[in-house]
Each structure stands twice: as C-alpha cells, then as structure tokens.
Structure 1
Amino acid sequence: MSKWKILTAASLGTVVLASTSACGGGASSQASDEASGAKGSFEDVAAEVKPDPAAVDLLPADIKEAGKITMAADLHYPPTSFLAEDNKTPIGYNVDIAKLLGQKLGLEVEVKNVTWDNVIPGIAAGRYDFTATNMTPTPERLEVLDMITYWAAGSSLIVQTGNPEGLSLADDSICGKKIAVMAGSSQQQDYIPLIDEDCEAAGQQPVDSVVLGNVEGALTQLVAKRLDGVFSDTSQLAWAAKQQPQSFELLSPQYQKEEGDDIVALGLEKDSELTSALHAAMQSLMDSDAYQETLDRWGLGAGAITTSEALG
C-alpha cells in the first residue's frame, strides 16, 4: 500500500520477554523484575543515578517542597507498564524511566494506574503531573500537552497462531477485517485512517475497527475469535506472542507511516512549570549509562535515542 513503509521485526531488534502472572502475595522489587523476565534489577541501575543539580534548579518551588510528582500510566501494557506478581506493584520500562527521572530531580515518583483514555484528561485536570505511556507527539496532543521525547517504538499486528485470515500489514488483506485498536492510541487516531484511505483506493472496505480500553482485553477477545487481529505497540504484542505462542502470532513486517517516525514522548499539562526540569532530567538520564541499561534489561534497547526534545 502506497502510504506504508515496511520495517522487518529483525531490523528493529525486536526482543520479547518472559511472563508475569497477576496472582500471589507480595514480592520484592528484584523478585518482581525476575518474574517479569527483565534482566538484572532496577536497584542495580538506580544506584548509579544521582540528582542533577541543573535539573533540580529548574523545579518549581512547590514541587521541590512537596518532594513528589505523580506519573499516570495504564498498567496493562507489558513490558512497558504493568503490574508485578502481587497485582499491585507497578513495573516495566516506562515505570523505571519515570522513577529514574525522579532520582535525577531528587523527587519521589508515585505511579497511578489510569486507563489509557483518561490519562490526558487527568493531566489536563491537574490530577497527575506527567505520563510515560508510549505516547506519540501528534499535532492534536501537542495542542493540549507539553511533550518530551524519550524512546522510539513501533506498531504491529498480532493474530491467532497460524494466521487463519492470511493478514498482513504489507497489503490490503486487513481491509474489512475486524481489528482491535486501543482508545486514543496512534493506531486508532492516525494509522487506521491512513490504512482506510488505501483500502478505499484499492476498492476494498475500510478496516472494521474495534476500539478497546487496553491490550489485555483485546487479546482476550482475539483468543475468543471475536477479532481477526490486534493492532498496537510492537513491544506489547511481541511480549504476548512469546508468552502464548500456541495462541498468538506476531506478524512481520511492522507498520510505519511514510512520513514521521515512531518517537514517543512524555506528556505534561500544556505550559507546565515542570516541563523544563523534566526535560533537563531526561537528557541527563540519556547521557548516562542508566538509560540504555534500562531499555536493555526490558529487551527494548533498539529503541534508544540520544537526544530528548521538548515539544509544545
């Protein structure tokens, strides 16, 4: 299809992770990491990270005095943000990055479990200070948010094992098919409309998009054969395919827009007084070994970038 540029999973170094179940009693952070499949421990990485005086100096006085900021994330998206075996401890790449940013600023970071489509409204209402949720900095989001780039992600299609419908992102085979996307995601808001344009140009029906709240719910419906596929972030879908190969097959190639890239960004309230400090902390983190180590331990090292941009 004309608007699509194809990247193979191998070219992006896709790595999948081991599973964590949502049951059992409490667990230490290190034990949670081990159960999740992450390599090493968060404590080992965090021990290297100290407050950056230049970033701390940029903090608003009220936040500095409070000593804490809140990060909103939907904790149903392994390996980026999800719950440990105790079903209450937030873990994942985005959670680790948020905590390390807090250390760069000398602040505690409290992670709030918020459904994806309520994250931006919650930030706008002042209930949360920022989000780290693989959010693409689209023009629409930049109208209501300040955004700080921090990682390069990707989008893929997952289907039932064996690909019974013969689907692919490389042709028009998903036209007219029932495909789940997450509410408010780039896949829903940006990519499906482009795919639908190509379907129409090919004389096919548009994708029968099913908008759902999170990937876990979408995968449940895929297993029940109520969907033909799920279109979401590659990291999350690769994780699911690794855990249940008898149920799920991650299709290659990935999807990427012809224009733009897959950079994702933190989101803050528009014109937030915290933006400059958080941006400085992010660049300071990127300049340290802890940033790459954190991506690597979650199997996401291929998405590292070297420069953070503040957008708004």
Structure 2
Amino acid sequence: MRHSHHRASRSYLLAGSVLLAVSLTACTNASGAATGPANTGAPADAGAAAGSVEVNEAARDLLPDAIVASGTLKVASDPTYAPFEYYDTDNKTMIGFDVDFADAVGAALGLKVEHVPATFDTILAGLASGKYDMAMSAFSVTEEREKIVDFVEYLYTGTGIAVAPGNPLGISMDPLSMCGKKIAGQKGSIQSMEYLPGFSKECNAAGKEEIKIQNFPGQTDANLALASGRVDGVIADSVPLAYQGKESNGQFELAEGEDYDAVPFGIALAKDTGMKEAVAAAAKGVIAGGHYQELGDKWDFPESVLITADTIDQK
C-alpha cells in the first residue's frame, strides 16, 4: 500500500531499526499511471488550497516549540503513486489525496506545508535523521513500522492486482491463480517483500510452479511492464491501481474481487517529539469538519476506505 521516521538525536540508536523499517516501507509504495505521472490527470479543482480549514488552536498548542518557531511542516512523499501523490502535468507540482490532506493538517496547525519529494524506500531513514517533520506516502500501518515511528491513521484499504484488459489469464488475489505467472511489485513494498513471496510458497505447497516475482523501483515502472506485456500482473494498493488503470486509457485494469488484507494507512511521525499528538488532534478536526469527505469525493475514493474522527480516538 504504497502506498511509509525519527529525529536526529535518535538517529544513531535507531540506525539498525531504520534499515529494517526502510525495507518494510510500503504497503505498497506508490506510483503514477502507466504512461507516467505527467499524463495522470487530476480532478478539475486539483491544487485548491485547504482554505476552508481553520487553525485548530488546541492542536497547535501541542506542537513542539521548534516546529512552531520554524512555521513550516516538511512533509515527505514519493510522488509516483497516483492518486495519493504524484506530479501534475508540469512535472514539479505535487498533487494528490495525501498532498491535499497534508495541506489541511498543516492549515489546522497554522503551518506552511513544504512538500518534499523522496524515493519511497528512503523516506523512513529521512524522517529518522530529522530531514522531514512528517511523512505521508500511502504508508500502511504495520507492527514492524510502529516499532520505529508513530502513525496517525487516515484511511483503510487493501491490496489488489492489476491485469491486462479483460483479464485473459484469469488472475486474481487468489495466490494459486498467480502460480507460474510473472507478477510485479514495487521494491520495498509489503506486496513485494511479504505478500508475493508468501503466495509463491503457497504455489509450491500446492505442487504448482512458483510465482515469477519481479520487483521494480517505482509503481510506474511496474505498471509500464504490465502495459507492455513484460509481466502478467501487478499487485499494489487497490485504490491507486484502479485509478492508474483508468488514467492509462485502459492499458490495464484492477481484477475483480475483494481487497486482500485491508489495513490502515497512516501519517508517519518521529517518536517522542510530540508530533503525533498534535497531528492526531489536527487530523481529527479535519475529518470531523467535513473537509476530509470533500477530499474523498474529489479524488473519487470509495466510501469504504474513509474513516471517522472516532477512529483516531481509538488509537
């Protein structure tokens, strides 16, 4: 699920753990449409400022003094994962659901948001070193990552598989349908590191040919491999896969069926900095105030993936 940090004073102690976390980074990580992010069209009102979000003084009061003094919230994302984060047609302006939601959280905190592009599997390390204040890149919340960073949940979605139009090979999220097939994932994602190897073992156990796993550095690369017939399927978060398939003019499509292993997505924050408390309070207000629902509508997200403010209270 694209689809994943800590401050400088803790970087040495966390170095080993961060290296592990970096390898566990994505649910998927994310990437743009098959033809590249420049061709991935945004909704008509993309880029609209979070002007309807007022400063949440209670949340702002929870911010670390250094963040208040800087006046800026540096947010890291891998802009290759439409519709969560990707480049607009100018190839430099980052847009997407995560970008909009981060802007809303920043507005609630009274901070200017600086969006920093980063390669997905380097974001955790950057957060750990204090390079970023927050990371928002369709990170799935896992126990392994929670040992390294704090999360504030904001979505709940699962994994799907993209296939050729019409799904001529009959591939689905049933592992046995993937046996002997070339299935791609994004390097560093849960799909490539955990799901596909596990599925391949199920093939072996059933006496079938193992999955020919192919990992790509970005989701766009994996999508291009599928569109050109070099792989038979791509697994990643279902929401972006469906979106990217539509934006690719039908070069691939999401296979029918339920999402596999739906999990929460979370905003990643360094531990022991006070950032989680402040961001959680800000996010809760944005969700309860209706702006969150507006973003879900704007990016055509199914209602099933959206959460309520009460979800944050339960964490």
TM-score, normalised relative to structure 1: 0.82
TM-superposed CA distance for 1:41, in Å, is 5.1
Name the structure 2 match of 1:38: 43
1:290 aligns with 2:291: yes
Name the structure 1 match of 2:127: 123
Distance 2:273 2:209 in 1: 43
Distance 1:304 1:97 in 2: 12
Amino acid at match of 2:107: Q
Distance 1:183 1:171 in 2: 19
Amino acid at match of 1:285: V
Name the structure 2 match of 1:11: none
Distance 1:39 1:289 in 2: 20
1:183 aligns with 2:199: no
Contact 2:41/2:247 (CA < 8 Å) preserved in 1? Answer: no
Name the structure 1 match of 2:306: 304
Superposed CA RMSD in Å reads 2.4
Which moved further from structure 2: 225-234 or 157-166?
157-166
Amino acid at match of 1:63: I
Distance 1:291 1:42 in 2: 15
Describe the shift of the 1:81–1:54 C-alpha distance in structure 2 as closer, same or farther (beyond 3 A). Answer: same
Distance 1:274 1:113 in 2: 20
Pick aligned residue for 1:47 from 51, 75, 78: 51
1:224-303 pair list within 5 angstroms: 224-257=228-261, 261-302=262-303, 303=305
Distance 2:90 2:84 in 1: 17
Contact 2:86/2:96 (CA < 8 Å) preserved in 1? Answer: yes
Contact 1:146/1:311 (CA < 8 Å) preserved in 2? Answer: no
TM-superposed CA distance for 1:212, in Å, is 1.4
Pick aligned residue for 1:84 from 77, 85, 88: 88
Contact 2:76/2:118 (CA < 8 Å) preserved in 1? Answer: yes
SS of the residue 1:54 aligns to: helix
What is the identity percentage for the equivalent residue pairs of Structure 1 and Structure 2?
32
Gaps of 5+ in 2: 1-32
Contact 2:53/2:104 (CA < 8 Å) preserved in 1? Answer: yes
1:123-202 pair list within 5 angstroms: 123-170=127-174, 172-202=176-206
Distance 1:248 1:173 in 2: 17
Which moved further from structure 2: 205-214 or 116-125?
205-214
Contact 2:42/2:96 (CA < 8 Å) preserved in 1? Answer: no
SS of the residue 1:166 aligns to: coil
Amino acid at match of 1:36: G
Pick aligned residue for 2:38 from 17, 22, 25: 22
Distance 2:234 2:48 in 1: 34
Runs of 4+ in 1 over 6 A off after TM superposition: none
Which moved further from structure 2: 222-231 or 244-253?
244-253
Distance 2:260 2:108 in 1: 33
1:98 aligns with 2:102: yes
Distance 1:54 1:166 in 2: 52
Distance 2:312 2:281 in 1: 10
Describe the shift of the 1:151–1:21 C-alpha distance in structure 2 as closer, same or farther (beyond 3 A). Answer: closer
TM-superposed CA distance for 1:204, in Å, is 2.1
SS of the residue 1:272 aligns to: coil
Distance 2:273 2:61 in 1: 16
TM-superposed CA distance for 1:308, in Å, is 4.3
Gaps of 5+ in 1: 1-16, 24-34
TM-score, normalised relative to structure 2: 0.82
Amino acid at match of 2:187: A
Residue deviations 1:169-228 (CA, integer Å, cap 9, x gap): 235110232211112222123422442343233222332221212111111112232211
Contact 2:37/2:82 (CA < 8 Å) preserved in 1? Answer: no
Amino acid at match of 1:283: K
SS of the residue 1:231 aligns to: strand
Describe the shift of the 1:228–1:252 C-alpha distance in structure 2 as closer, same or farther (beyond 3 A). Answer: same
Figure out how many residues of one structure are paired with residues of the other and give that number.
Answer: 280
Describe the shift of the 1:205–1:270 C-alpha distance in structure 2 as closer, same or farther (beyond 3 A). Answer: farther
Distance 2:314 2:78 in 1: 23
Amino acid at match of 1:304: L
SS of the residue 1:203 aligns to: coil
TM-superposed CA distance for 1:229, in Å, is 0.9
TM-superposed CA distance for 1:301, in Å, is 4.4
Which moved further from structure 2: 78-87 or 167-176?
167-176
Describe the shift of the 1:93–1:107 C-alpha distance in structure 2 as closer, same or farther (beyond 3 A). Answer: same
Contact 1:157/1:254 (CA < 8 Å) preserved in 2? Answer: no
Distance 1:187 1:180 in 2: 9
